[in-house]
Each structure stands twice: as C-alpha cells, then as structure tokens.
Amino acid sequence: MNGSEGGAPGGGAGQDSDRGPVPAPPKHPLSTQPIRLTDSGGPGSGESKSKARSKRRRSRRRAGRLPDRAVVLVGPMAAGKTSLGRKVAKDLGIPFVDTDAVFVREHGAITDFFAEKGEPEFRRIEAEIIAAELARPGSRIVALGGGAVLAEATRELLRGHPVVLLMTTQAAVLRTANLSRRPLLRDDPDAWGRILEVRRPLYDEVADVTFRTDRGSKEQLARRVAGWMRGQGRRQRTAGDEPNTSTAASRGMDTDTE
C-alpha cells in the first residue's frame, strides 16, 4: 500500500521532468477589466468635445426649425438692419449677409460710386448682388440697403422669401445714428423723412411683418425676430415646402413692440 502510494508521486515527478520546467505564474496577473482609453488632449478634453458635440446638435436643431431660404431685412436708412440682423443670425447660429457690405467689398465706397457712375448703375449692380445672395440655399439672414426695394426685379424675388420690415422714426435716427458716416443726414436731416415717404409703399408691399426698432432693446427685438423666423419655418414645413405659401399667409403683419 505504502509502496504503491509512494510510487505514484515518484512517477509523476519523472513525467514532469520529461516535459521540462513548468513556468511560474506571473507576479502581476493580467486584468480582465475593460481598459478606458484616455483622450490625448489631457484631462477634461473629452468633456469639452462632448460639449462641442452638444452645441453642434443644438445648432442643427435650431437651423432645422428655420426657413430653408434667406430671411430678408428691409427698411429705411439707419433702422438697424445690419446690427439687429447680425445679432439674430449669431443667436440662431446661421450666416448673415449685408448686401451693401458686399457691394463695398467688390466695387468700393457707395458714395464714390454714386458720384462717378450714377444711381442707375448702382441699382443695377445692387440688384444683381441681391439676386445672387437670395439664390443661395439654406437658412440665413440677408439685410438689404434702404433703396433696394426700388428695383422691381428685387421686389419680385422677395415674394419667395420671408421679409421683415424694420421701422423707426426720424427723431430716433437723428438721435442714435452716427452722422459722420451718413453725410446725407448730416447735411439734410429732413431727407430721411422725404425718402421714407416715397419708399414706404414699397416696403409695405414686400414685407411679411414689421418690427419697430425704436421700441425695446436690441435683445428683446432679436428674440422677437428669431421667434417669428421659427414660426415661418414651422409654417413652411406644414405647407409642404411650397414657395410663397408661408410668407403669403402672414404678409403685412405688424408687431410693433412697446
């Protein structure tokens, strides 16, 4: 009994020696837990990227609620089309274009162009710039010069876009405008009222809604304009994206702000 019990261990030892040495277990066993890869940007960079993705998603959601074409700002000189338009566009995360700025970039100062080539040539080029900007797809805000509505071709194009009329008063313009940059108003303060009297019927013809920029703060006006734009986007989707449908339903709406 003892002999056979003793022989078994001996035989096992011999077999182990025939196979060679058995490797020792590792001092630090491999972990079976999943490994979390760290961002190469260092601590907090993953969180920053997550916030950036969330911001992009919010911007896409905001853009998705807006009209899929340019919303156009019209109105008299110094009514705030550029400053308010730029703020609304920034708040909504969409592009902003000032067609007067495009003209200046391509052809030089407007006053110099008037003096050298006359108003008819200026209006012709202005209408071409506006047509090119309105043809671009996607949500955006386009601010027109005060006299852009004089061109019949431009007024016809505006029928296919949501149009916001920004109105103010001569007293407010003379109180707030930088007259050094507006020699017409500096030299003839009453010119603003005379020009508006001629153009007001054309503004009313193309406008879907009117906001008074001499009432309320820029922040308040920006929220109201942005809210109106979202409403236009909803109407457009409800109408099946048919041109002119959403704008025709609200054309002429007046939303004077207190």
Threshold 0.75, pTM exceeds: no
> What is the pLDDT at residue 7?
44
207 is in an annotated binding site: no
| 29 occurs within a structural domain | no
| 206 occurs within a structural domain | yes
| 224 occurs within a structural domain | yes
> What is the pLDDT at residue 72?
98
> What is the pLDDT at residue 30?
53
| 3 occurs within a structural domain | no
42 is in an annotated binding site: no
Using an 8 Å Cβ cutoff, are 70 and 136 in contact?
Answer: yes
80 is in an annotated binding site: yes
79 is in an annotated binding site: yes
Kindly report the CATH number assigned to the domain that includes residue 141.
Answer: 3.40.50.300
pLDDT (tens, 9 = 90+) of the chain, 258 residues, equals 444 444 444 444 444 445 556 666 655 555 555 555 444 455 555 666 666 665 555 555 555 589 999 999 999 999 999 999 999 999 999 999 999 999 999 999 998 998 899 999 999 999 999 999 999 999 999 999 999 999 999 999 999 999 999 999 999 998 888 777 776 777 888 999 999 999 999 999 999 999 999 998 999 999 999 999 999 999 887 776 554 444 444 566 566 543
82 is in an annotated binding site: yes
| 8 occurs within a structural domain | no
> What is the pLDDT at residue 108?
96
> What is the pLDDT at residue 76?
96
| 13 occurs within a structural domain | no
83 is in an annotated binding site: yes
81 is in an annotated binding site: yes
| 4 occurs within a structural domain | no
93 is in an annotated binding site: no
50 is in an annotated binding site: no
Domain total for the chain? 1
Residue 240 belongs to what domain range?
Answer: 65-254
118 is in an annotated binding site: no
| 39 occurs within a structural domain | no
> What is the pLDDT at residue 13?
45
